[in-house]
């Protein structure tokens, strides 16, 4: 049976980006909330298994402000570990204490941390809880959207079951292989790193004291990111074939390999979650908008996780889109029209390219042992360490406070 239901916005995908976008467009913080539908190919909200994503996310200060404004942060705060200190080392010397090439004092310096580490399972649980309380959002799970008609006004989407829904605006939050992006004929610029990122949570004997560590090894960065308690979130980069072999090891063998990289400065270490790996690539859509379509999150951009900024970029997309839409809605204009979408595109694409290029450059500079590059990077890090203005520049980017801030990231509901 086919149904035609009008919404103000339809979000394809209910991952981190899709759920947050639903809250941003339909929330009580707006004087004219949009009636929003989220359609997700994954399980219904009540059947979500949060533990299925063993990653953590570094949430920048401006992203935290946004999650506070959307009423999500209260459910996360107890399990969010502030970064008290960040150290960066040349991790090729993996035995014993590695000399720090660069150190950032965090909360101790400024009174406020620039980022907090939160497990993705905690984030998903908090977002799901908030979406369930939101009368303006309808969520349909176990349903993939197959077909898109962007030429009709409003646009129409058709699910695999043949149901149809319509809205003036479609938001693609369906991840890196976005069907919506492909259906709109939007290309991507893409390259693979021949690296995979293995992610998991570990428990250790000694406290980390809020210290985040990034060790640059030849195969790529090895990050130890502090979680609450004596636990850390790991992103362990290896070349793709090496990572595939590691993923086939028994848990005991895997842990033995892990320990040789992790070192012993935090005492005895055990696995505290499943581990999974992701192929690492850069992928940027050639435009972030189409007719009646806005791309957000990984549907618009995938970047190297070296600086933990992927989801933070997605949050910035959502906050910018929310600004553009509410300005149009308040003036009684078509919020799925080209004026609104062009403003979103102009705001987000250049910023994304800059961040993606910076992460790409860092990865290329650090993930090799060519001697001239090794010398340059060591000199570069030492210079940054000694110059407070340069450090401040890096800290602003790490905190997400550089550049134009959308209202949700300034803590202004509307």
Ligand X SMILES: Cc1cc2nc3c(=O)[nH]c(=O)nc-3n(C[C@H](O)[C@H](O)[C@H](O)COP(=O)(O)OP(=O)(O)OC[C@H]3O[C@@H](n4cnc5c(N)ncnc54)[C@H](O)[C@@H]3O)c2cc1C
Binding site for ligand X (CB under 6 A): 12-18, 39-42, 55, 57-58, 144-145, 173-175, 179, 197, 199, 235, 278, 297-298, 305, 308-312, 314
Nearer to ligand X, 237 or 328 (CB): 237
CB of 342 to ligand X, least distance (A): 22
Answer whether 8's CB lies under 8 Å from 334's CB.
no
Nearer to ligand X, 161 or 388 (CB): 161
Nearer to ligand X, 158 or 378 (CB): 158
Answer whether 173's CB lies under 8 Å from 18's CB.
yes
Nearer to ligand X, 14 or 336 (CB): 14
List the beta bridge partners of residue 189: 284
Nearer to ligand X, 173 or 289 (CB): 173
Answer whether 126's CB lies under 8 Å from 72's CB.
yes
Residue 365's Cβ-count burial label (10 Å; 0-12, 13-18, 19+) is middle
Answer whether 272's CB lies under 8 Å from 50's CB.
no
CB of 203 to ligand X, least distance (A): 19
CB of 296 to ligand X, least distance (A): 7
CB of 389 to ligand X, least distance (A): 26
CB of 214 to ligand X, least distance (A): 11
Nearer to ligand X, 41 or 247 (CB): 41
Nearer to ligand X, 317 or 328 (CB): 317
CA distance 294 to 303: 19
CB of 36 to ligand X, least distance (A): 14
Nearer to ligand X, 223 or 329 (CB): 223
CB of 309 to ligand X, least distance (A): 5
Answer whether 372's CB lies under 8 Å from 362's CB.
no
**Number of C-beta neighbours around residue 256 at 10 A:** 11
Answer whether 299's CB lies under 8 Å from 181's CB.
yes
CA distance 20 to 127: 7
Question: What is the number of alpha carbons within 13 Å of residue 409 lying toward its C-beta?
Answer: 25
CB of 312 to ligand X, least distance (A): 4
CB of 306 to ligand X, least distance (A): 9
CA distance 55 to 119: 6
**Number of C-beta neighbours around residue 401 at 10 A:** 16
Nearer to ligand X, 101 or 127 (CB): 127
CB of 370 to ligand X, least distance (A): 25
Answer whether 168's CB lies under 8 Å from 154's CB.
yes
Answer whether 292's CB lies under 8 Å from 180's CB.
no
CA distance 350 to 353: 5
Nearer to ligand X, 39 or 384 (CB): 39
Name the CA dihedral angle for 77, 80, 85, 89, rounded to a multiple of 10 degrees.
-160
Contact partners, residue 351, CB within 8 Å, separation at least 6: 313, 316, 403
* CA dist 261 → 11, 163, 318 (Å): 41, 51, 37
């Amino acid at each position: 049976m086919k149904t035609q239901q009008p919404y103000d916005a339809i979000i394809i995908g209910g991952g981190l980006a899709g759920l947050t976008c639903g809250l941003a467009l339909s929330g009580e913080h707006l004087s004219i909330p949009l009636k929003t539908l989220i359609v997700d190919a994954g399980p219904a909200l009540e059947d979500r298994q949060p533990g299925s994503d063993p990653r953590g996310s570094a949430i920048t200060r401006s992203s935290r402000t946004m999650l506070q404004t959307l009423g999500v942060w209260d459910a996360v705060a107890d399990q969010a570990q502030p970064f008290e200190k960040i150290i960066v080392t040349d991790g090729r010397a993996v035995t014993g204490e590695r000399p720090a090439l660069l150190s950032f004092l965090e909360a101790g310096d400024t009174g406020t941390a620039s980022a907090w580490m939160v497990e993705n399972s905690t984030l998903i649980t908090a977002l799901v809880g908030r979406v369930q309380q939101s009368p303006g959002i309808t969520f349909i799970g176990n349903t993939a959207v197959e077909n898109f008609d962007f030429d009709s006004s409003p646009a129409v989407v058709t699910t695999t079951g043949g149901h149809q829904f319509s809205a003036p605006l479609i938001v693609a939050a369906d991840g890196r292989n976005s069907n919506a992006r492909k259906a709109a004929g939007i290309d991507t610029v893409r390259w693979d790193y021949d690296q995979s990122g293995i992610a998991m949570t570990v428990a250790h004997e000694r406290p980390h004291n809020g210290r985040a560590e990034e060790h640059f090894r030849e195969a790529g960065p090895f990050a130890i990111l502090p979680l609450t308690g004596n636990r850390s979130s790991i992103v362990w980069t290896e070349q793709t074939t090496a990572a595939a072999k590691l993923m086939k090891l028994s848990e005991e063998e895997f842990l033995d390999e892990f320990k040789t990289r992790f070192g012993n400065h935090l005492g005895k270490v055990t696995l505290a979650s499943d581990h999974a790996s992701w192929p690492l690539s850069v992928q940027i859509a050639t435009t972030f908008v189409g007719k009646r379509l806005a791309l957000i999150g990984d549907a618009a951009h995938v970047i190297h996780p070296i600086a933990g900024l992927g989801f933070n970029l997605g949050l910035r997309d959502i906050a910018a889109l929310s600004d553009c839409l509410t300005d149009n809605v308040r003036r009684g204009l078509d919020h799925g029209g080209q004026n609104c979408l062009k403003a979103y595109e102009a705001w987000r694409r250049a910023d994304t390219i800059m961040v993606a290029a910076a992460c790409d450059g860092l990865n290329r500079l650090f993930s090799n042992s060519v001697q001239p590059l090794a010398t340059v990077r060591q000199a570069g890090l030492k210079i940054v360490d000694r110059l407070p203005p340069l450090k401040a520049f890096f800290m602003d980017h790490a905190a997400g406070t550089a550049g134009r801030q959308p209202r949700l990231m300034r803590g202004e509901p509307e």
